[in-house]
Amino acid sequence: MTDLQTVLPPPANNVIDNVDGDDDDGSSTIATKQFSILALYKFLRRGKSQGPLDLPELKTELLEMASKFELKGTLLIANEGINGTVCMPKEHAAEVELFFGNHELYSGIRMRWSNHTGKDAVFHRMFVKIKKEIVSMGVHLETMTAGGGEVHEQDCDDGNPGHPLAGDYISANNWDDFFKKNPDVDLIDCRNSYEVGMGTFTGAIDPGTDSFTQLPSWLENFGHCNERSKPKKIAMFCTGGIRCEKATALAKLMKHKESGEPLFQNVYHLEGGILSYLDKVGSTNEVVDSNSSRDHLKKSSFIGECFVFDQRVSVGSGLKRGTYTLCHGCRAPLSKDNVHHPTFIRGVQCKDCCNISVDESSASGTKRQLSSSDKKHMERQIERQRQFEISQEKGERWGDTCKNFALDAENKWRSIMCKSKIDKS
């Protein structure tokens, strides 16, 4: 494997800070642009008499808006609401905010804005996807008791973007004070383990889940493992708040298997999620300058960075881009230490996947010597990374480079096949 590593050495320190190739010092010949990133969601409170939405028509409307304002990213739409993250040129941010603010269905939507400076948006394409749920937990709340998750007609269109059965909100500015005054409340991180490993709140419980669908069973077991005389009090948090909308709703509906009493006495969650906290408070005990636009001068209980589902990979205080990048071999987030590990090959592998086969049998994680086919695969990945870096230097879009690379490979294959036929004849 050493011979392959020498083909493409690990990147220098500045590459890790700018994993997309953004040159903040202005030395690049390619001009950078200002982008706005919008994370949004809203649960629609619609009564049964209102019937289902015309989702295909709604999808068309959103795609037309996205095309008009140059949006890139993904929006999930369902009868229960909308959820997604999009990126746009900064000059269109006010128009997009106005679109959602005046929309018949989505007025009052929860929005979280952040900024990005780079050559391109943090997403490559725009998708609007029709789903059964805007966030899937694997449990249908409407089938449970305590009202059955049903929204009553009088609760419709009340301006609250959250789930009608969600727990009590705690604002980012009051989050730390709440736990000082309520030390008996258990703090639960609703995110997946790889996200928790990048950063979390002091004292938070990690459920150790690999997907959100594993949280309900963990939560039920956690509620039943109760040595207290009263049901537990819990508070939950996630990236932007939407997972907690459903997780806290589920927690409120859970009953003890034997007594039938509620598993949890009080259920709270962080309003707007970690992104709201990092935007208003900060991370890692940062002291906010008195001239800052943030709301309070205080120490933070969040240590580390927060994983985000776009090319930034992670964000820190003030929602500024963090220090993590992604492994293109296993898609795991990588810290600077991981990137400078001897086995790291940019665009190909990291220390966690370097000895794992690329075929299906590698799912078990069994380490072994790379086969000849694995080495050929690595060589192709290295060549792909080389082409990617060339396209960056030329200022080309990677999608166009991929097409050209694929066409060149196809032409070479056709040439070889034609030559083979001629030789045989």
297 and 191 belong to one structural domain:
yes
Side chain identity at 184, as an amino acid letter? D
- Catalytic site includes residue 353: no
Is the per-residue pLDDT at 416 higher than 50?
A: yes
In a domain, 152, yes or no: no
* Total domain count, the chain: 3
Alpha carbon distance 395, 391 (integer Å):
6
User: Of 216-230, 318-332, 402-416, where does mean pLDDT reach its minimum?
Assistant: 402-416
In a domain, 380, yes or no: no
Higher pLDDT, 283 or 135: 135
Q: What is the pLDDT of residues 256-280, one digit of tens each?
A: 888 888 999 899 999 999 999 999 9
209 and 281 belong to one structural domain:
yes
117 and 171 belong to one structural domain:
no
Work out the angle between the directed axes of helices 372-394 and 398-424 (0-180°, nearest 10): 130
Is the per-residue pLDDT at 154 higher than 90?
A: no
Helix (H, G, I), strand (E, B) or coil at 154: helix
Which residue in 87, 238, 306, 353 is the catalytic one? 238
Asked if residue 302 lies in contact with residue 274, where contact means CB atoms within 8 angstroms, the answer is yes
- Supply the pLDDT for residue 408: 62
The pair of structure tokens assigned to 141 is 């709340």
Side chain identity at 118, as an amino acid letter? G
User: Of 83-92, 111-120, 241-250, 399-408, where does mean pLDDT reach its minimum?
Assistant: 399-408
171 and 79 belong to one structural domain:
no
95 and 191 belong to one structural domain:
no
In a domain, 217, yes or no: yes
In a domain, 381, yes or no: no
Among 243, 278, 307, residue at a domain's last position: 307
DSSP notation for 199-267: EEETT-B----SSGGGHHHHHHHHHHS--SSS-EEEEEE-SSSHHHHHHHHHHHH-B-TTT--BSEEEE
64 and 121 belong to one structural domain:
yes
Give the residue numbers spanning the domain of 190: 166-307
DSSP notation for 44-86: ----GGG----HHHHHHHHHHHHHHTT-EEEEEEETTEEEEEE
Among 247, 272, 307, residue at a domain's last position: 307
Nearest by Cα to 115 from 250, 293, 315, 324: 315
297 and 411 belong to one structural domain:
no
User: Of 190-204, 242-256, 353-367, where does mean pLDDT reach its minimum?
Assistant: 353-367
Domain CATH code at residue 124: 3.30.70.100
Q: Look up the pTM and report it.
A: 0.75
pLDDT confidence band for 9 (50 / 70 / 90): very low
194 and 287 belong to one structural domain:
yes
Domain CATH code at residue 227: 3.40.250.10
Among 249, 282, 307, residue at a domain's last position: 307
Is the per-residue pLDDT at 281 higher than 60?
A: yes
In a domain, 54, yes or no: yes
Beta strand pairing call for 232-237 and 185-189: parallel
Alpha carbon distance 120, 21 (integer Å):
10
In a domain, 219, yes or no: yes
- Supply the pLDDT for residue 152: 46
Higher pLDDT, 417 or 78: 78
Alpha carbon distance 236, 243 (integer Å):
9
177 and 270 belong to one structural domain:
yes
Q: What is the pLDDT of residues 51-84, one digit of tens each?
A: 889 999 999 999 999 999 999 999 999 999 999 9
93 and 187 belong to one structural domain:
no
294 and 173 belong to one structural domain:
yes
In a domain, 73, yes or no: yes
Residue 196 main-chain phi, psi, to 5 deg: -60, -40
Angle at alpha carbon of residue 168, lines to 166 and 174, rounded to 5°? 140
170 and 120 belong to one structural domain:
no
The pair of structure tokens assigned to 72 is 């890139």
In a domain, 359, yes or no: no
